[in-house]
């Protein structure tokens, strides 16, 4: 039997699935940044990618997801908490950029990794879960499309290993 290929744009992907591709890459890099056994060279190289990806992800998420979520009364405080966590990470990244002492750098990068990890867990298990219950599928699809359209214009695409079923979509639109 012939396999039918449908256009990727007609497949529905949840907002959680969409954001998880970046989250998965971020989490893998966080493991390196937190690790006590990785050397500083490896951590510096990983941090260069991590900071680029985090900036691209956070900005896109704010524009495509948080803006919508902040209009839903019951989600407002959780959304503002998430915005604040992005801002804290941004501040810490600024500090890290001018940290010359290696031990201080390692400490700051570890704290950043731990705080982003915590943020991702809460985002996936609380914010996005509650958001999904308060929007319909059409709104969710619009949010996903908006996220992908903005995200493809920014650096650091999801690694092919994690792009999974959504890979075609990103490739087509970039």
Task: Report the alpha-carbon distance of residue 30 to residue 118 in Å, rounded.
Answer: 11
Stretch in the footprint of Fe ion (CB under 5 A) among 12-20, 102-110, 137-145, 160-168: 12-20
CB nearer to Fe ion: pick between 38 and 124: 124
Q: CA-to-CA distance for 2 and 138, rounded, in angstroms?
A: 31
Q: What is the largest CA-CA distance in the chain?
A: 63
Taking the least distance from each CB to Fe ion, the nearer of 117 and 145 is 117
- Nearest to Fe ion of 123, 169 (CB atom): 123
According to CB under 5 A, which residues from 91 to 130 bind Fe ion? 123
CB of 174 to Fe ion, least distance (A): 19
Which residues from 15-54 bind Fe ion, rule CB under 5 A? 19
CB of residue 102 to Fe ion, shortest distance in Å: 29
Query: Token pair for residue 127?
Result: 């914010």
Nearer to Fe ion, 19 or 109 (CB): 19
Give the nearest distance from C-beta 116 to Fe ion in angstroms. 8
Q: Which of 60, 114, 65 is nearest to 88 (CA)?
A: 114
**Which is nearer to Fe ion, 61 or 169 (by Cβ)?**
61
Of 132-171, which residues contact Fe ion (CB under 5 A)?
none
2-31 CB burial, b ≥16 within 10 A, e <16:
eeeeeebeeeebebbebbbbbbbbbbebbe
Angle formed by the axes of helices 102-122 and 76-97, nearest 10° = 160
Q: How many Å apart are CA 20 and CA 41, to the nearest integer?
A: 27
Nearest to 158 by CA among 55, 13, 11, 20: 20
Stretch that binds Fe ion, among 14-22, 38-46, 95-103, 157-165 (CB under 5 A): 14-22
Tokens representing 32 are 């390196």
Shortest distance (Å) from residue 58 CB to Fe ion:
6
Q: How far is the CB of 100 from Fe ion (least distance, A)?
A: 29
Binding site for Fe ion (CB under 5 A): 19, 61, 123
């Amino acid at each position: 039997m012939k396999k039918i290929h449908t256009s990727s744009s007609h497949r529905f992907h949840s907002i959680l699935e969409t954001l998880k591709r970046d989250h998965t890459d971020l989490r893998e890099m966080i493991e390196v940044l937190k690790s006590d056994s990785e050397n500083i060279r490896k951590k510096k190289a990983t941090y260069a990618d991590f900071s680029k990806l985090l900036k691209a992800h956070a900005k896109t998420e704010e524009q495509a997801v948080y803006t919508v979520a902040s209009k839903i009364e019951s989600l407002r405080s959780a959304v503002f908490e998430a915005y604040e966590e992005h801002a804290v990470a941004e501040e810490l990244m600024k500090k890290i950029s001018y940290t010359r002492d290696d031990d201080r750098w390692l400490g700051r990068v570890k704290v950043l990794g731990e705080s982003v990890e915590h943020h991702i867990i809460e985002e996936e298990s609380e914010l996005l879960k509650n958001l999904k219950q308060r929007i319909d599928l059409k709104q969710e699809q619009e949010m996903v499309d908006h996220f992908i359209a903005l995200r493809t214009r920014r650096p650091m695409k999801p690694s092919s290993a994690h792009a999974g079923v959504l890979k075609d979509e990103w490739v087509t639109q970039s």
